[in-house]
Amino acid sequence: MVTIPVNDKITLRSYVREDANALFTAVNSMRSHLGPWLDWVGYTTKPEHSEQFIQDALQQLEMQEALALGIFYDGVIIGGVGMHQWDHRVKKAQIGYWLVKDYEGKGIITESLKCFFDFLFSKIGLNKIEIHFVAANKRSAKVAERMGCQIEGVLRQSAVRNGSIENVVIAGLLKTEWMAAARG
């Protein structure tokens, strides 16, 4: 179980089986908001899907393949952050994030990712973090920029979103860049 305190209201922590209904409710209530950007929302159509996600996430954590954490505000799930495509040899991984619409624009993702990045670089030992997003997702582009990520390239026509094939932007951040920014 991983727990990362962000501030007195926000905590990032591993999901537990008892979170399944609350997780499903949060995703289901934001289906039209999250669905255009996150494929997995379309596959989360009943609470059992959230139960399976949590079971898989706990197994992936145990196997050191991935890490999925809920963003809890006063104990209520309002979003999530995760690390996947964990390459132990190169010491890099991709991260993803989502937030319930009512909590957007309050700095929650930025503050949560700062703590998450600190954890990934200092405790997990990553050397590089990547954020992949479709080019049309301007909010994710802003998040990557705020976190200090540099655009490394575009994978042309590499994702399907709403039935259309779109470009994927890859933004990356090295541990040395993160540490230098923290000292600066």
pLDDT at 163: 82
Tokens representing 149 are 């990520």
pLDDT at 10: 98
What is the overall mean pLDDT for the chain?
95
Short-list 23, 17, 21, CA closest to 80: 23
Number of independent structural domains in the chain: 1
Residue 116 CB coordination number (10 Å): 24
In 3-state terms, what secondary structure has residue 82?
Answer: strand
pLDDT at 54: 97
3-12 tens-digit pLDDT:
999 999 999 9
128-134 sheet: strands from edge to edge: 3-5, 10-14, 67-73, 76-87, 92-99, 128-134, 164-174, 150-161
pLDDT classification of 40: cutoffs 50, 70, 90: confident
Residue 37 belongs to domain spanning: 3-183
Identify the bridge partners of residue 10 per DSSP, sorted by sequence position. 73
37 against 92, higher pLDDT = 92
49-92 tens-digit pLDDT:
999 999 999 999 999 999 999 999 999 999 999 999 999 999 99
Helix axes 108-119, 138-146, angle to 10 degrees: 50
Distances (CA, A) of 93 to 34, 84, 105, 113, 120: 22, 6, 26, 14, 9
pLDDT at 58: 96
Tokens representing 67 are 């890490």
143-158 tens-digit pLDDT:
999 999 999 999 999 9
Q: Is the pLDDT of residue 42 over 90?
A: no
Tokens representing 144 are 């990557």
pLDDT classification of 41: cutoffs 50, 70, 90: confident
pLDDT at 38: 82
| Domain of residue 175, CATH code | 3.40.630.30
15-33 tens-digit pLDDT:
999 999 999 999 998 888 8
For residue 175, how many C-alpha atoms fall within 13 Å in the half-sphere facing its CB? 15
